[in-house]
Amino acid sequence: MNALKARFHFSGSFYVDPIGKSGGLALWWKDEVDISILSATKNFIDTSISMDNEIPWFGTFLYGCPNKEGKNDVWRALSNLRSKDTEPWCLMGDSNIVISQSEKLGGRPFDPRQTASFQTLLDECGLLEMPLKGGPFTWSNRRIEDNSILKKN
């Protein structure tokens, strides 16, 4: 990891170690960005970010729980971070969830019950989704024809 940090000229870094054979998060940044790590879990790194002496904002870098059982815990933890703050907040990364059938092509049908707590997080924290540039999907299982699954994560 440090070789990549040096190769791309990043001056700062923060890591969440993997648990067993899965997980782990890495955040790298350059000198012109001032980042303070506020908290971290196996699913997110929460930061305060400022650039060029501008007003700081919160940035939370997410890797959502891939298992149905853990998703609600992650959404609750994120909601507890910012639900009462008024400062700007950007939640970015991979939520590992779709919020409508139009965000998924192939595989099992979309289950709207799985998105209720994620939608609550978005509503309680005043989060808005930024539009995608490019294609409608951000993830593929890289299989063909009937076995293909595409998602917007």
108 versus 76: the higher-pLDDT residue is 76
Query: CATH number of the domain at 2-151, please?
Result: 3.60.10.10
Backbone angles phi, psi at 115, to 5 degrees: -100, -5
Kindly state the helix (H) or strand (E) to which residue 80 belongs, with its residue range: helix 68-82
Contact 25, 33 (CB under 8 A): no
pLDDT per residue over 90-130, tens digit each? 999 988 888 887 888 888 887 788 788 888 888 888 888 88
pLDDT per residue over 26-75, tens digit each? 999 998 899 999 999 999 999 999 988 788 999 999 999 888 888 989 99
Q: How confident is the model at residue 83 (pLDDT cuts 50, 70, 90)?
A: low
Contact 42, 19 (CB under 8 A): yes
Distance CA 59, CA 20 (A): 27
Domain locations in the chain as residue ranges: 2-151
Distance CA 66, CA 141 (A): 14
Q: How confident is the model at residue 4 (pLDDT cuts 50, 70, 90)?
A: low
The pair of structure tokens assigned to 153 is: 């994560």
Residue entry with tokens 């998060």? 25
The pair of structure tokens assigned to 13 is: 């870094």
